[in-house]
Amino acid sequence: MKTLSRSTLRAVFLPFLLLSSVVPSASASATADAPCTQLKTTLNYSQSNSPRDISSVLRVVVEKVNRELEGVIDVDVEWTGSELHRKVGTYSIKSSVTRRLGDTTTKECFEVPFVIADTNECELPVGHVMAHRCHESAACVNTNGGYECQCEGEDGWGKSLIESTIKGKKSTAGSCDANDDECRSGFICPVDPCQPNGASDCDTSKGAKCVSQVFKDGTGVAYSCECPVKTLGNGHMCSANDEVPSPKVGFDGKPTEATINADYCSCTTPSVDQCAGFPACEAKNTACKTKKDGSSPSCECKPGYVSTKEHGCVDETPPALKLRCDPDSDGITKLRQGDNYEECAVDIEDDNAEDLARSLKITYSEPLPSGCLRKMGDFHVNYTVATPWTEPPFQRVTRTVKVADLDECKISAQEESHFCLEALPRCDISAGAICKNTPGSYTCECPKCTTGDGFLPISGLKLNDPSSPVNYSGGTGCQDNCKPEITLKGPNPKVFRACKCGGLLGMTKNARKLERNEGEAGNFDVDVKALIKVSAGAELCATKDNKDVVQPSNCASAVDHTPDGVVDLTSQIQVGDPVKHPTKKNSWRVPYNVVDKAGNRASTVWRDVRVDELTFDELETVMREEFEAEKKKAVNEAVAAATRKEKQECDGQKRTLRAEIESDGDNASGKRNKRGRNNSCPKCETCPPPPTCGEDDGKSTTKLSNELRNCKTDLTNAKRSGARATSANDSDSDERSNILASLEDLFPLFLLLIVGCSAVGLFVLVLQRAKSALGADGGKSANNDARAADLAKSVYYHSPRHGSQPLSPDVKNGGNDRMKTRSSQQSPLFGGVGGVGGGGRVGAQGGAQGGVQGVFSPSQSVGSPASYSLSPITPSRSARR
């Protein structure tokens, strides 16, 4: 007997077990020997449904105790270990219950009977937990509470095989434990294959007999199929892949060698082979052949051969030629230029092959190159096998090779290794050549401004070779052949002004004019040449509008268009010596030339140079006209700038007003829609761009004034519309806006009037100053030295500065301490008595003479008399009065 511990029951009877700790052990033991009361209900179970542990029957005990007893404080349950493991039989469970009624504690015993009935495992369906596990070769035998597996049959058939878990036994009884299903499932018995539905495949329909046996050592069974008398075969049924049985026997009745080796299936009556045992035929391609009349056989040509006098028995069917490397079986091989042709030849298929006069010949329609294929198009390969005994006496198959165009220009660097060198393009890419594909070839085109065939030299390729790329001429590459382009900047012609006078008498009124002789006039050639040399040509493009120091590069620019882009050659421009005009007086042409890196010389560009000799009156007139034009231009620019600024402010106010109206309009849109009015602000016009220098002649200023007036009118209307849209009581505000708008309209007119009056007053002031400088009588002979000094103060050079010295403040009679020099070199054309002066205004610091001679001084050149000259002048603003 086995007692369930109290600790185990506490998990189930927790309310009762909590009280057990306070029950005295002496009182509990006082009733331990009391008789047990048996429950009226007996529990019946089948073996397959019987409980496996105590928890399956505790419910009955608990139900009994809870319903019939009171004061339960402790329960003990006892059972045997073998009672609950699906064993067939009658069992009972004892339980001891301790109760407390008042001060009395009692202990009683109860028995719960239950019965487990046997289940027939051999009849349970497959998959049932208690179904038998016997091997399919063994039979299941039910026992009380279990089952056994046994072999059926006699002698060796009734013992298990050696591969079983139990070897050489009739049954598992006494060998496998009661619950050892694995032992029973491995109990294997021999099975007779010849029994009905057995495993044999003997063709019993043809009389085959199945003979089986079991090996005495228990290793297994075997069977054989025996054919009836007068039939041949292995007796096994034929499968779909078996050859149709055709056994033969010779004249001696024994199976022929072919029949023995064939191992025919089933059982078949053999036929008689008359040639069996006949002497072997010695002639080639001959064999024994029977005759229909039953006479003795003879040697004749084998099937597929025909008898000829010359060759004996030969193949009457010519060989079949099949192209290799022909996956589509169309006889076409597709290649590209640059691929290598590899000869695959043919397969010669002949079921009756023999060695009589066979030969294979391969011919090509065009000669094959030693390297890769370069020519695009088709060529043919013929394969011919000679068969002189047939008609025609040969067999032939043709392969067509199609060579497609290769786009050589698209071969990438990764693909170059897959092509031969001849297929790779040889364009002079470094010189800008472009590769272009052509049908069957390619060509190289040189970029603009270059000449040549565009190719690099191709080794081993001769000129006019048919395989040469298109337009290949030996690989001359691409050579630059474009001339540089020169663009002149600055004035053309360049005009210099020189004083025209005949000594002191030429400055008096009504004095006679002294003509310059040829020797004196020739000095301008030397002066112009020296001016170009000392300024590197920079003086040729200097103007009064130059704000910065003039450099030679400001006078001309040169560019060269190359495959690598545009190259600036301005710094390489060469300014040549002036060439005197053959017909025009005091006129020269100065050449500009440049040569690029490739030796291409630009077309010579010429700048005309002219020296205008002016009298004092002419010089003053020109200076006044230039001054007035510049003043007028300045006034127009100032008015235009002010008007443009005011218009921009007006446009800004219109945009702001539009935004305010649109914002307020969202709240009052319903009212506006009812009135059917559109109160949106008109679109502002785009401000015109400011006029460029020299273009403003007064028209653009007038146009801007009109646009400003229109803008203000639009602004006023918009304000009025916005005011009416928001409130009808804003009429006072509208009136004030109208007044302001009217004032704004009149403002440009007042501004123009003020500016005009200022200009007139300034002009009168200039005339007064000029009049005082010329003298009260207006004659040309009065105070000529003062006039010359005043003119000298208002001119300056434009040459770049290269170490020129500022004018000494000690120079007298001309206010030369204020003179500034921009001349980069000393020029004999504008120098003093000493030849080349120190720069500055006209001949300033022309030697030790000082005074007026620094402005008008005779040029001292070898072999020529003195001649008076004046620098190329542009009035400076500091000298204008």
**130 in a domain, yes or no?**
no
What's the whole-number mean pLDDT along residues 30-52? 69
What's the whole-number mean pLDDT along residues 85-106? 81
332-355, pLDDT tens digit by residue?
999 998 888 999 999 988 765 655
Domain check: are 489 and 470 in the same one? no
What is the tally of helices (H) and strands (E) in the chain?
Answer: 13, 34
**Nearest by Cα to 135 from 173, 95, 172, 177:** 172
Q: What is the token pair recorded at 585? A: 């007086």
| Boundary residue ending a domain (76, 91, 117) | 117
Which band of pLDDT confidence, cut at 50, 70 and 90, is reported for residue 356? Answer: low
Cα–Cα dist 668/21, whole Å: 93
What's the whole-number mean pLDDT along residues 673-679? 46
Which band of pLDDT confidence, cut at 50, 70 and 90, is reported for residue 688? Answer: low
Containing structural domain, residue 564: 485-614+783-879
**286 in a domain, yes or no?**
no
Decide: residue 261, CB within 10 A, 0-12 exposed, 13-18 middle, 19+ buried: exposed
- By the 8 A CB rule, do 61 and 37 touch? no
Cα–Cα dist 164/150, whole Å: 12
Domain check: are 331 and 397 in the same one? yes
Query: CB neighbours of 560 closer than 8 A, spacing ≥ 6?
Result: 480, 482, 484, 485, 566, 567, 569, 596, 597, 600
**559 in a domain, yes or no?**
yes
Residue-wise DSSP of 772-828: HHH-TT--SSTTHHHHHHHHHHT----SPPSSPPPPPTT--SS-GGG-----SS--G
**126 in a domain, yes or no?**
no
| Boundary residue ending a domain (70, 98, 117) | 117
pLDDT score of 561: 87
Instruction: Tell whether the model's pLDDT for residue 527 goes beyond 60.
Output: yes
Domain check: are 561 and 508 in the same one? yes
**227 in a domain, yes or no?**
no
Looking at the structure of the chain, the number of domains it has is 5
Of the listed ranges 349-358, 639-648, 834-843, the one predicted with least confidence: 834-843
Cα–Cα dist 702/709, whole Å: 11
Cα–Cα dist 817/808, whole Å: 6
pLDDT winner (highest mean) among 52-61, 305-314, 346-355, 591-600: 591-600
Domain check: are 448 and 521 in the same one? no
CA-angle at 342, arms to 338 and 348, nearest 5°: 155
Instruction: Tell whether the model's pLDDT for residue 856 goes beyond 60.
Output: no
Domain check: are 759 and 844 in the same one? no
Instruction: Tell whether the model's pLDDT for residue 392 goes beyond 50.
Output: yes
**How does DSSP classify residue 323?**
E
pLDDT score of 798: 41
Domain check: are 381 and 492 in the same one? no
Give the phi and the psi of residue 711 in degrees, each rounded to 5: -60, -45
**Could you tell me which residues are beta bridge partners of residue 480?**
450
Per cent of the chain over pLDDT 90 is 18
Cα–Cα dist 362/346, whole Å: 10
Domain check: are 21 and 34 in the same one? yes
CA-angle at 134, arms to 128 and 139, nearest 5°: 115
Per cent of the chain over pLDDT 70 is 67
Domain check: are 26 and 105 in the same one? yes
* 106-140 burial: b if 16+ Cβ within 10 Å, else e: bbbbbebebebebbebbebeeeeebbbbbbebbbb
**268 in a domain, yes or no?**
no
What's the whole-number mean pLDDT along residues 634-660? 83
pLDDT score of 589: 93
What's the whole-number mean pLDDT along residues 25-45? 59
Q: What is the token pair recorded at 323? A: 């192209």
CA-angle at 597, arms to 593 and 598, nearest 5°: 100
Which band of pLDDT confidence, cut at 50, 70 and 90, is reported for residue 698? Answer: low
Cα–Cα dist 549/541, whole Å: 11
Q: What is the token pair recorded at 211? A: 């003979």
pLDDT score of 396: 92
Spacing of C-alpha 174 from chain mean position: 82
Average pLDDT, the chain: 73
Domain check: are 753 and 787 in the same one? no
Of the listed ranges 130-139, 320-329, 635-644, the one predicted with least confidence: 635-644
Say whether 503 sits in a helix, a strand or coil: coil
Say whether 476 sits in a helix, a strand or coil: coil
Which band of pLDDT confidence, cut at 50, 70 and 90, is reported for residue 563? Answer: confident
CATH of the domain at 349: 2.60.40.10
Domain check: are 326 and 354 in the same one? yes
Please report which residue ranges of 112-236 form alpha helices under DSSP H.
181-185
**228 in a domain, yes or no?**
no
Cα–Cα dist 852/814, whole Å: 7
Give the phi and the psi of residue 684 in degrees, each rounded to 5: -75, 140
Domain check: are 504 and 606 in the same one? yes
Locus of tokens 């004034």:
705
Domain check: are 731 and 604 in the same one? no
| Boundary residue ending a domain (352, 375, 404) | 404
86 vs 508 pLDDT, higher one: 86
Q: What is the token pair recorded at 817? A: 């301490």
Residue type, 738: N
